[in-house]
Amino acid sequence: MDKEKKDKHIEDIIDVQGRDTLPLSDIEYLSRNNGVWEQYKEKKENFYSSILMSLTHETYNELDAKRLWNKIVEHMNFLESALNRKVGISVATLDYLSNIKDILKEPKIIEENKIELVAEFSTIDELTRLYSRDVFDVTLLKYIEESKRTHSPLCLILIDVDDFKQVNDQFGHQKGDEVLTEIGACINEIVREMDLAARYGGEELAIILPNTDIEKAYILGERIRDNVAKLTFQGFSVTVSVGVGDMSLKKNNTPETLIKAADVALYKAKDMGKNRTVK
């Protein structure tokens, strides 16, 4: 796009005083051009509410809309980094509000061909609301490469529900599913935005902690373990065992070795009596 056409396009986007919604293509353009975004924001009343209305056909107050928008953009950047391809604001909005926040019950924001893209890259485990194993695998590799490049610390936490088979046998699989759902919610409340929590498999969960040394990772693991122990279900409670592994340039510098380090620590926690964190 030459400068004259670009300037005209910017003017067209900013000149929206009489419009309640924007075309998706304009929102996509705004989301990737901070300078234009700031100009538009200065001229548009109820800025974020208008953007969210355009994307979702739902009404949000301005403060909630701003918070959601920032999360959606963060999620879009994560998806594009994890998948190594352009995802776009509409797909990111659908995935975040439908799969992560579970507040968009009847999506109206996306073309049919893009719905197939979301289905192809299902990012959220339906039961725990943590990221899927596929996203975990891709992200762990990217974070390890980044850690090597920047010489920054990286840790991995593995969490296993203690005696989970007994829960299923004694209280039924539906109650077991409820346990996993509640533990997933507990983890989501505790992890930082920079972390990635995923369902690793079965009743085993994982958290990738970039720019985090093993002492801080241990503290976070202990916080999760303690909070899970405080959860109550009908007639019983559960505990988890937690293993923490860390990476350096000389050791645990591949996904396999870092997972093995966290796994060894997890099994030590089990052998020591469960309901504990080992690093």
Provide long-range contacts, Cβ within 8 A and 24+ apart, for 264-269. 265/158, 266/158, 266/159, 266/160, 266/241, 266/242, 267/243, 268/243, 269/241, 269/242, 269/243
Q: Are 140 and 258 in contact (CB under 8 A)?
A: yes
Mark out the alpha helices in 191-240 (DSSP H runs): 214-229
Nearest-angstrom CA–CA distance, 278 and 271? 11
**Which residue in the block uniquely carries the two structure tokens 């604001």?**
89
Is 203 among the catalytic positions?
Answer: yes
Catalytic residue among 45, 203, 204, 215: 203
Nearest-angstrom CA–CA distance, 269 and 132? 25
Whole-number Cα distances in Å, 210 to 85, 146, 149: 22, 9, 13
Question: Which residues are designated catalytic?
Answer: 203
